[in-house]
Every structure is written in structure tokens, then in C-alpha cells.
Amino acid sequence: MSTMWLPVAQEQRVDVLGELGAKTREVWIALHGYGQLVAYFQRHFRACVTEQRAFVFPQGQHKFYLNGVSGRVGASWMTKDEREKDIENQRRYLSEVMRFVRKQCPNARFHLAGFSQGVATGMRFLGYSPEAFTSVLAWAGSWPPDLDAKGLNALREVQFQGWFGDDDAFIGVEKQREILEWYRSEYEWVPEVGYYEGGHAFDKAILKSEIERLERL
């Protein structure tokens, strides 16, 4: 048996909150977590939209039923199967999103926000984006242990802020310590990290405050 990879043209869903135009000054590319859809994920950011700030929500390319073969549907950025090819396809997809948004918003700065699986997806994309990011907000997600030189260099150039919950069933306190220690020892990089009371979810007050703070830096 032989395996081939064929390049095909596909349409992918991207939702937008706010206006994309010449007056837009801040654009946040927001990446959802495993099993989420952008139609619901974007609700967390509605209170953060302003006349000059917009949010763009690419949706993971893989959709599936969350339970069995019917009912609620979620999306994923990747699984362990053919993961390198999925990462490559993510980069192509997100690069097209960035090019489209830049054409619409010639005067805007770009920021990246990731939740859960969207954190690793975004951090792997940093070094391959056709547009530089000003800041990164990494919320309740595992940081990839396999960043290449491009990704690491890009990470060091941005304003980075991580957030972890003190009662997160998916990224527990011990896992949080392991992530931080790995980045300090392997990459010699000490990030800014905050902690909130709660589990695997946004704290909307902190989210809004952090978006505003990162834009001021």
C-alpha cells in the first residue's frame, strides 16, 4: 500500500466579531479549544468588542460528534494521527486567514488568543505567520514541547501572558508546573503567568482586562 497527500481547495469557516476595516486598530485571532465550535466560542469575547477592536475566529478543520454518532458537534485542530501533517495544514489555513484580515485591516496590529487546544495551535503558528503578532494570551492550555527555532524566536518577540486555573481538571497544578519548568530549562524562557480561581474556562472579567492591558503594552 502507498500513501499520497493531495493538495485540495477547501472552504473553512471563520467568524468575526466587530468590524474589519481601515479604522480597525487591534485584531485578535482567537483559537478555540478541543470539541468547541466558533459559533459558541465567540460568545466569550462579545463584551470586548469596540469600534477599533475586532475578533476573528478560525474554526478547527476537523468536526465530529461529541458523543456517539449524533447530537452535539465539536471541532478539533488535530489528533495524534498524522499530527505533523495536521500542523502543516493548520499553518496554511491560519496564514490565509491572516492575509485576508490584513487586506481588510491595513492599519491594525495583530494579537493571538488561544484557549485549551487553541493555545498549542497558536504557539506553533507564531513563527510561520505572514504577519507578526504583538501579543499572545494563552488561556488554560498546554504549551507545545516541540517548538522549532522559528516558533521560539517568534515567542520571544511578543508580549506573552499565560493564565491557568487553580482547579483545572485538564491542566492541573502539577501539569502547570511541568510546563513552566520545561520552558525554563529547555528553552531558557521565563514567561509571564497568572492564576485565577476556577477550572477549564474563561474568567470573563480577567479576559477583558488582559486584552485591554496587552494592547497598551
Residue 1 placed within a domain = no
Confidence of residue 114 (pLDDT cuts 50, 70, 90): very high
pTM: 0.96
Determine the pLDDT at residue 121.
Answer: 97
CATH at 106: 3.40.50.1820
Confidence of residue 7 (pLDDT cuts 50, 70, 90): confident
Determine the pLDDT at residue 116.
Answer: 98
Residue 8 placed within a domain = no
In this structure, the chain runs to a length of 217
Residue 6 placed within a domain = no
Confidence of residue 118 (pLDDT cuts 50, 70, 90): very high
DSSP string, 75-106: EES--STTHHHHHHHHHHHHHHHHHHHHHH-T
Confidence of residue 8 (pLDDT cuts 50, 70, 90): confident
Residue 44 placed within a domain = yes
Q: Is the pLDDT of residue 74 over 90?
A: yes
Residue 75 placed within a domain = yes
Question: In this structure, are residues 197 and 115 in contact, taking their beta carbons and an 8 Å threshold?
Answer: no
Render pLDDT for 169-187 as a digit per residue (tens, 0 to 9). 999 999 999 999 999 999 9
Q: Bridge-partner residues for 53, per DSSP?
A: 26
| Total domain count, the chain | 1
Residue 108 placed within a domain = yes
Please give the residue range of the domain that contains residue 144: 14-216
Render pLDDT for 11-70 as a digit per residue (tens, 0 to 9). 999 999 999 999 999 999 999 999 999 999 999 999 999 999 999 999 999 999 999 999
Question: In this structure, are residues 45 and 55 in contact, taking their beta carbons and an 8 Å threshold?
Answer: yes
